[in-house]
Amino acid sequence: MAALLGLVAVLFAVPAQAVPERRVALVIGNSAYTAVPRLANPQRDATAISAALKRLGFEVVEGYDLRMDEMTGIVREFAQKLDGAKAGVVYYAGHGIAVGDENYLIPVDASLKSEADLDFRAVNVQLILRQMQRDVNVLILDACRDNPFATQLAAKSRSVARGLTAIETQSASGILIAFATDPRSTALDGEKDGNSPFTAALLKHIETPEVSITTVMDRVRADVWESTGKKQKPWTNSSIIGEFKLNPTLKLAAVDPSVTIKAIDGAVPVPAAPAPVGLRWMSVCGRRPSAATPRATTRLISTPSPTGSSPLSPRTAWRGWSRRPSPSRRCRPRPVRPPCPPLPRLPCRPRERRARPSPTRR
């Protein structure tokens, strides 16, 4: 039994290096803005991305329609969970704005009157990037929509730009930045009760197994370019070294052949089942099964055991029918009677001889 258990353990054991590392994701979707018109799809987009990341094994920190204090709080929670993780992914859908070389994510309660309000009423993207600093860091921003905040601030500041500004990744390795469209451009929000073109394409490819994140973004770019009639082209900047796969396939490590041979050679003896007492096998028609008739169906009948007990009735026994009976002769069930026990022999007494009278003549 020990050898058998050892064989099972060897065949199904997965080494520690095959187990995936911890991966944490932050997902935010802001739709219900109070100072500007509501956006239709960001919350729905973020919910779908969160579900996909959970299926991929990510620990997801998610929030929807967040105010300023809630956004800073969820970023802090995300930073705490990143401790000990190999990869971090951030997805944001909602309003974003670029001022100079800085990008800001806008909470739903923001009311921006001047450029100075951004430091106190918006979340700087660099704040999120500083919290990540893992082996692999992925930032996906679907925040390049037509932004009314940019229109309000553009009248007072020339540094306010349309869309988001490019983020350089050459200063640090292991970072991938993805925008829904080119920097300084505006992305489409998509149809009502649906997803944005960028998120729809991302959901299509994000769970593709054994594909690197750069290949996923290349496929997303091609799909968005075609679906929008060549009006929107996602932008990606990456400094990731090697391949980072969102949906890797775990493989069992090679098993040591010597261990397998020992486990197989150590056969476990299985005791043979004892034959039942008082049973014997006969063919259906009373003939003994032979190699010439391998299809002959056998039946189990009862015979008295040496101890006098029989598991079946001594008078009757079940007789099966042949699977393919002969057309000329069909066996009939008949009761099988056990042989009669021998009668006890009584001691013989000698007979007395009597003299027979002689016949007399008359």
Structure tokens at 34: 């109070």
The pLDDT mean for the chain works out to 77
Question: Measured between alpha carbons, how far is 117 from 123 in angstroms, rounded to an integer?
Answer: 11
Q: What is the pLDDT of residue 16?
A: 40
C-alpha neighbours within 13 Å on the C-beta side of residue 243: 10
Nearest to 185 by CA among 200, 164, 157: 164
Helix crossing, 197-205 with 42-55: angle to 10°?
A: 10
pLDDT tens string 44-54: 999 999 999 99
Q: What is the pLDDT of residue 171?
A: 66
| Residue 43 reports pLDDT greater than 60 | yes
pLDDT tens string 222-278: 999 999 999 999 999 999 988 999 999 865 444 455 544 444 444 445 556 555 544
Q: What is the pLDDT of residue 202?
A: 97
pLDDT tens string 173-189: 899 999 999 888 888 87
Question: Measured between alpha carbons, how far is 255 from 249 in angstroms, rounded to an integer?
Answer: 18
In this prediction the pTM is: 0.65
Q: What class, spelled out in words, does domain 21-238 have in CATH?
A: alpha beta
Most confident of 65-74, 113-122, 290-299: 65-74
Domain ranges of the chain: 21-238
pLDDT tens string 304-336: 444 544 454 444 444 444 455 555 555 566 667
φ/ψ bin of 190: left (φ > 0), alpha (ψ from -120 to 50), beta (otherwise): left
